[in-house]
Amino acid sequence: MDMFCYQCQEAAKNEGCTVRGVCGKTPEVANLQDLLIWALKGISFWGVRGRANLGIVDPETDLFVAKALFLTITNVNFDPAVHVAWIEEAIQRREALRERAQAQCRALHGADACGDGLPEAATWLPKTYDANVLEMKGQLVGVLADPDLDEDIRSLRELLIYGLKGLAAYTEHAYVLEYTNDALLHFMQEALDATLDDSLSAADLVGLVLKAGEMGVEAMRLLDEANTGRYGHPEPTQVNLGVRPGPAILISGHDLRDMDELLQQTEGTGVNVYTHGEMLPANAYPAFKKYPHFVGNYGGSWWHQAKEFESFGGAILMTTNCIVPVKESYRERLFTTGLAGWPGCPHIPDREPGQQKDFTPLIEMAQRSAEPQALEDGAIPAGFAHATVMSVADKVINAVQQGDIRRFVVMAGCDGRQRSREYYTQIAEGLPQDHVILTAGCAKYRYNKLDLGDIGGIPRILDAGQCNDSYSLAYIALQLKDAFGLDDINDLPISYDIAWYEQKAVIVLLALLYLGVKHIRLGPSLPAFLSPGVVKVLVDNFDIKPIGEVEADLAAIAVGA
């Protein structure tokens, strides 16, 4: 096989992509990503031991590991040259840590100490940083590198790594806004290092997986604090879906600091700004609503972008993941920034300390490009994060006690291309009138334009925001548990019907498991990286189940099963 990748929901045949990624990832990039992850394990080997035993700390390298994990998330970066550069820096940072650790170790324990029995990931050096050489090494250290490895151990290691990738994304977003918790960075290294340890049992790895969930809750809490601390708590907002005359920029992804700086730099230029995909929730933040040239949202979820970016006509900014193969018709209009990248697309460099990113090339492209073509009109509601919902908690609790609201259904997570995801639209349409949907993430695009009405003024679709805003949904559930005087979160009238696609959804799932949530439906398919043995553990301990037929699932949801 040319590659092997099964980290996302669209893994070919629900087994793994072996020729080319369904996402558009080439074998070259897939193998380079495998090598980068392996190099991060080597950094982590020295980072963990340096901190624990030798008093060696390297905050820049700690953050580098998180960023590099984020780089390998599905649909973030497809540029081989970028991956080569990151691998080279990873090896250099690992060697710097190794030299410091071994020097300190020799000083403490003698000349012959600290050099034996080291894993190859902690010592390997390439003869050259030629992409072909690195790719060949990547083929040797990927997921299937050890054919004799117990399938449950492999599955748990990969589940842990994919959870770490999601954890890294949310942590990086918080760090960009200068909200930090180094315990998150240290855990990432501890977990990566653990995947090199053949002495760890399946039970040990299950414990680390749940610890990743705990760290996921903290990362989402930290990011929520960062976003609301900088930009205010989201407010209930009717988001415009139409277009306005004039040149325009479409911004997609998850990075609110990019959104903030773009709005500042486009003020007074005559350029309008629209959100796309996961940036939709930005429309509900008070700090952004003050800009008259912030028009609303254009289009739907990430997988529609090829058609929608063509229709848009203006300049486009991808701030994080969710890039699909870029068409030549809009390639020169599509800019990437941060960790996002596509070969041949212009890239906005990172901000220098104390300065903003310079979006001048993007703005100039918008000014000489066509106006957006209308796709639809009307408006959709957004802004129902935890502060909004809890501000009317008495009303919500009363509606439950009076029987007006009989059940909440958490339908958070990701959208995707497969027709099987029509299931989520059909579930939303089929839910009884006394059921309220709690959502976050791009999964909402399957039903957020449906007219489902309200219950006593409470909308039947409460959109908390981006996938990281799943914290809001967990927070609301915990607050309701306390308000109703319940001991177990599973005694609440809440069902979970989660859609997943990539690794940020994995950390959300692990966070829910850490919080003790049971009876989660997960679809449209169970992850290919879960072995039968690991699935059994999840079923036995958490009653995780695949989605089924719509009518059967609707009946089960109605009774909390």
pLDDT of 116 reads: 73
Best CA proximity match to 316, nearest among 273, 287, 379, 270: 273
Q: Which helix (H) or strand (E) holds 438?
A: strand 435-439
Count of C-beta atoms within a 10 Å radius of residue 126: 15
Name the CA radius of gyration of the chain, rounded: 23
* Per-residue pLDDT tens digits for 170-209: 999 999 999 999 999 999 999 999 999 999 999 999 999 9
SS3 per-residue string spanning 154-173? HHHHHHHHHHHHHHHHHHHH
| Alpha helices (H) along 354-487 | 360-367, 386-391, 393-401, 422-430, 470-483
pLDDT at 107: 83
Looking at residue 526, what is its pLDDT?
A: 96
Q: How many CA atoms lie within 13 A of 430 on its CB side?
A: 16
| Distance, CA of 329 to CA of 311 (rounded, Å) | 10
CA atoms of 186 and 66, how far apart (whole Å) = 10
Whose CA is closest to 332, among 343, 319, 321?
Answer: 343
Q: Are 69 and 62 in contact (CB under 8 A)?
A: no
What does residue 433 show for φ and ψ, rounded to 5 degrees? -65, -15
Region for residue 346 given its phi and psi (left: phi exceeds 0; alpha: psi -120 to 50; beta: otherwise): beta
Give me 129's structure tokens: 């940083």
Backbone angles phi, psi at 435, to 5 degrees: -110, 140
Bridge partners (DSSP) of residue 99 are none
State which H helix or E strand residue 546 sits in: strand 545-546
Print burial letters for 416-429: b (CB count within 10 Å at least 16), e (below 16).
Answer: bbbeebebbebbbe
pLDDT confidence of residue 470: 87
Cβ atoms of residues 278 and 370 within 8 Å: no
> Residues 372, 313: contact at Cβ < 8 Å?
yes
Low pLDDT (below 70) residues in the chain: 111-115
Q: What is the pLDDT of residue 109?
A: 75
Encode pLDDT of 413-436 as tens digits.
999 999 999 999 999 999 999 999
Beta-carbon count within 10 A of 16 CB: 18
CA distance 20 to 13: 13
The tokens for 356 are: 């903003």
Is the preceding omega at residue 524 within 30 degrees of 0, hence cis?
yes
Output the six-digit token pair for 477.
Answer: 């559930």
Locate the DSSP E strands across 338-393. Answer: 347-348, 379-382
Q: What DSSP character marks residue 463?
A: E
